[in-house]
């Protein structure tokens, strides 16, 4: 995870130096938003990645004439924490936001960044709602967003001339199963925009038993086939 974050941050430095002329020969403040504790997106990963990325950029000759400082706020992977952290970093006059990695934090933080016209680079936010550039004008997501999944499925369905589908997925519960929720919403949106009919949505729980799997698959088969005969 640290190596991946490092590479993403390194790409941010390249973009900033070559695309934003006002940062040349200057003090440059990076405002990092990240949860302090998180199994994949916590500060222990992001802090190490930031240090490695800065060193790598200097070795590559990208930051030779720049003094880079990193300011950090704990966003708690929450909407409240993201909003508070974004505002506090603005008070410290940061030039760019790195993060938040959690979509729930990025939604309000991205709106504030747009209002202040400050770039925001999120390394991991994947909620399909963040794709709307009319809303999140200054947000750049460096990881592959789930919107691409929906578009990929549409192309697959077009190739085989499929026009209807049954979706089986877990739904979001609080902040659990968010990836299942993001991917499902992406697919649902893409299907509806391309006249692919969702004939049934079957919600499942984590740890589903073998017997329940058989029931779910039988329901999916019956629903899809019954629609085909209408």
Scan for tokens 């990092």, then name that residue: 32
List all residues 6 or more positions away from 16 whose beta carbon is below 8 Å from its beta carbon: 23, 28, 96, 119
> Chain-wide mean pLDDT for the chain?
79
Q: Report the length, in residues, of the chain.
A: 230
Name the helix (H) or strand (E) containing 209: none
Q: Mark whether 151 and 80 lie in a shared domain.
A: no
Contact 180, 145 (CB under 8 A): no
Q: What value does the mean pLDDT take over residues 179-204?
A: 84
Looking at residue 126, what is its pLDDT? 79
pLDDT greater than 80 at residue 195: yes
Q: Same domain for 131 and 186? A: no
> Do residues 116 and 173 both lie within one domain?
no
Average pLDDT over residues 136-148: 81
Instruction: Look at residue 16 and tell me whether its pLDDT is greater than 70.
Output: no
Residue 167 predicted with pLDDT over 50 = yes
Parent domain of 64: 2-141
Listed residues 94, 119, 141: the one ending a domain: 141
Apex 90 CA angle, 71 and 100, nearest 5: 60
* Banded pLDDT at 40 (limits 50, 70, 90): low
Residue 27 confidence (pLDDT): 76
Same-domain pairing of 106 and 204: no
Selected residue with higher pLDDT from 218 and 55: 218
Region 63-79 average pLDDT: 82
Total count of domains within the chain: 2
pLDDT for residue 177 is more than 70: no
Query: Would you give the end-to-end CA distance of the chain in angstroms?
Result: 50
Question: Are 94 and 118 in contact, with CB atoms under 8 Å apart?
Answer: yes
What CATH number is given to the structural domain containing 224? Answer: 3.40.50.2300
Co-location of 92 and 205 in the same domain: no
Examine the domain organization and report whether 20 and 129 are in the same domain: yes
**Per-residue model confidence as pLDDT tens digits over 3-15:** 455 555 656 655 5
Burial class (CB in 10 A: 0-12, 13-18, 19+), 146: buried
Of 141, 169, 201, the residue that ends a domain is 141
Residue 182 has pLDDT above 80, yes or no: no
Q: Which of 47, 49, 52 is nearest to 71 (CA)?
A: 47
Same-domain status, 42 and 108: yes
pLDDT band at 61 (very low <50, low <70, confident <90, very high): confident
The C-alpha atoms of residue 146 and residue 187 are separated, in whole angstroms, by: 8
**Same structural domain, 48 and 156:** no
What pLDDT is recorded for position 87? 96
Pairing of strands 96-98, 67-74: unpaired
pLDDT of residue 229: 45
pLDDT grade, residue 138 (50/70/90)? very high
Q: Do 88 and 174 belong together in one domain?
A: no
The pLDDT score that the predictor gives to residue 88 is 96
């Amino acid at each position: 995870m640290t190596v991946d974050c490092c590479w993403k941050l390194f790409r941010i430095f390249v973009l900033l130096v070559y695309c934003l002329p006002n940062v040349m020969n200057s003090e440059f403040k990076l405002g990092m938003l990240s949860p302090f504790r998180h199994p994949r997106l916590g500060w222990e990963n992001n802090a190490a990645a930031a240090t490695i990325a800065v060193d790598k950029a200097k070795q590559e000759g990208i930051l030779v004439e720049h003094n880079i400082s990193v300011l950090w706020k704990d966003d708690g992977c929450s909407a409240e924490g993201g909003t508070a952290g974004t505002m506090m970093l603005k008070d410290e006059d940061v030039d760019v936001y790195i993060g938040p990695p959690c979509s729930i934090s990025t939604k309000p933080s991205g709106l504030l960044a747009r209002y202040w016209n400050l770039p925001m680079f999120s390394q991991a936010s994947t909620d399909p709602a963040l794709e709307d550039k009319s809303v999140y004008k200054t947000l750049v997501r460096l990881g592959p967003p789930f919107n691409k999944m929906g578009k990929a499925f549409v192309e697959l369905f077009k190739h085989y001339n499929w026009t209807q589908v049954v979706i089986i997925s877990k739904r979001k519960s609080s902040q659990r199963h968010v990836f299942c929720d993001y991917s499902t919403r992406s697919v649902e949106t893409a299907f509806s925009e391309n006249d692919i009919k969702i004939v049934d949505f079957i919600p499942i729980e984590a740890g589903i038993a073998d017997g329940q799997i058989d029931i779910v698959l039988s329901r999916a088969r019956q629903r899809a086939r019954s629609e085909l005969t209408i």
